[in-house]
Amino acid sequence: MEPYSIFEDVAGRLEAQGSTEATRKTHPGYWIKDLKSLLCTANVEDITFGTGHQIYTRKILPAIEAAETEVVLVTCFLARSVTLDDLGDSLRKLSVKAQRNGKLIKVRICFSSSSIWQKLLQTSSLAGQIWPEAKWGLPRKYELQGLDMEVKSIFQLPFSVMHPKFVVVDRQRVLLPSCNVSWEDWFEGCVDLNGVVVEQFVRFWQSFWAGEEDRQVKIANSTTLSDQDTSASPAIVREAYAVFLPSPHHRFSLPWVSSEQPPATPLNIYLLTVFARAERDIYMQTPNLTSTVVLSAILQALERGVDVVILTSRRLMRLEQIITAGTTTERSVRSLIKRYQALKQHQTSPRDLEAGFVRSNPGRLIVRYHKMRDATDQLEVEPAQSHLKLTIVDGKVAVFGSGNMDRASWHTSQELGLALTSEVLVKHVRQKLSVAMEGRSVTEYDSNED
């Protein structure tokens, strides 16, 4: 699975859709006329697993406190929580440092959802809404005099949520978590990146979130990090081949009155391409699984003999699933298993054997649900659900980001993904994830036990 040939396939499918009116109107859509601009490289310093609060306190907040010039924090959900309180404390520390050094550090916080009322009252304009400091849920400006602060939200009724989550520090470092700033104690992941890939995140933020003044600020050359002494850095991999994968939001449509063909976005098309080109195995960890397109792609891979492991959550956001997809993860899993079992029976039917036609055996299917393990440390909070979004194909490609394998992510929400091609990285991620998930899943189905 060569990365450039994958991208050629993706680009071909995107270019075929590029002339449609719906594609031309997507926002952000800066990539449509220059698909190769989504190609880059990335240095992967680390990957962290834990609850959202743990990821913020261990990785994101220390990075924010270390900022010298600018912090951009994009999150889907910004809610009153311990994480928000801790973010406020870090901003106070950052302000004190800035004043001590005679600087003014720019901080831009961007979110889409904080409450039902906020979404109902939110302007539908993609220009968004600037929030007064009294409603931030963060320290007031008099406590943050060393910071140039702005808090902004964008949401479109009824369900067009801006779902990406990322943090850019000094335009030289990106933290890509699966978690929001919220109270949910869910299993999450976070990738720590630097290098050329940082420019991609800055460009995305400037194109969609930034005001006119921030858009005028040129993107810093992230490669200046390579000029520093990195010989002692414990980086997982340097200059991994990467593809930046935006997925613009689209108008919500009911699943039973609209096409099940998802919008042709870079993230959607890339995932469908690697599913179709998988040769050995697919590992998928997703909070929800309700996209019929994804389920069909999984079944097709299994039919070709590709092994598939799915780890998802039971009873997570069920009302949202029913509204946006007309079904739930559990129903979708049962349907997938039933279709897979029918596939196995068809491929070993007596009629085929009598005709001398032997089909290849389907791949192995394993479905697991997240479960809480017995707490060994009373001070540590045990994740109640899995909220990690991670897809690994053939031990070479890992896709991180905000997108779930549900209909909302594939058809409606704005999402953002990053595909990294590196066997070294994938091996490290699988090993670290295996340790983090130990005792935190239960097998719902294993085709080898049929």
Q: Rounded to an integer, what is the distance from CA 122 to the centroid of its chain?
A: 24
What's the longest Cα–Cα distance across the chain? Answer: 84
- Sign, Cα dihedral of 299, 23, 165, 204: positive
CB of 41 closer than 8 Å to CB of 239: yes
Per-residue model confidence (pLDDT) at position 26: 80
Per-residue model confidence (pLDDT) at position 258: 55
Q: Rounded to an integer, what is the distance from CA 39 to the centroid of its chain?
A: 18
Helices 3-17/266-277 angle, 10° precision: 130
Question: In 167-196, where does DSSP find H-type helix?
Answer: none
Q: What digits encode the pLDDT tens for the residues 94-124? A: 999 999 999 999 999 999 999 988 988 889 8
Helices 329-347/292-303 angle, 10° precision: 30
Decide the pairing of beta strands 415-421 and 397-401. Answer: antiparallel
pLDDT tens series, the chain, 450 aa: 777 789 899 998 888 876 555 555 688 889 888 899 999 999 999 999 999 999 999 999 999 999 999 999 999 999 999 999 999 999 999 999 999 999 999 999 999 999 988 988 889 899 999 999 999 999 999 999 999 999 999 999 888 899 999 999 999 999 999 999 999 999 999 999 999 999 999 999 999 999 888 988 776 554 444 444 444 457 899 999 999 999 999 887 767 655 578 999 999 999 999 999 999 999 999 999 999 999 999 999 999 999 999 999 998 888 888 888 889 999 999 999 999 999 988 875 555 555 555 557 899 999 999 999 886 666 789 999 999 999 999 999 999 999 999 999 999 999 999 999 999 999 999 999 999 999 999 999 999 998
Token representation of residue 156: 């479109």
Helices 292-303/266-277 angle, 10° precision: 20
The H or E element spanning position 369 is strand 365-370
CA distance linking residue 28 with residue 296, whole number of Å: 28
Per-residue model confidence (pLDDT) at position 17: 72
Token representation of residue 323: 């509204």
CA distance linking residue 190 with residue 48, whole number of Å: 5
CA distance linking residue 387 with residue 399, whole number of Å: 15
- CA Rg, the chain, in Å? 22
Per-residue model confidence (pLDDT) at position 357: 52
Per-residue model confidence (pLDDT) at position 106: 97
DSSP string, 141-165: GGG-TTEEEEEEE-EETTTEEB---
CA distance linking residue 240 with residue 252, whole number of Å: 36
Per-residue model confidence (pLDDT) at position 355: 56
Per-residue model confidence (pLDDT) at position 229: 43
Q: Which fold has domain 3-449?
A: Endonuclease; Chain A (3.30.870)
Domain limits, the chain: 3-449
Per-residue model confidence (pLDDT) at position 259: 59
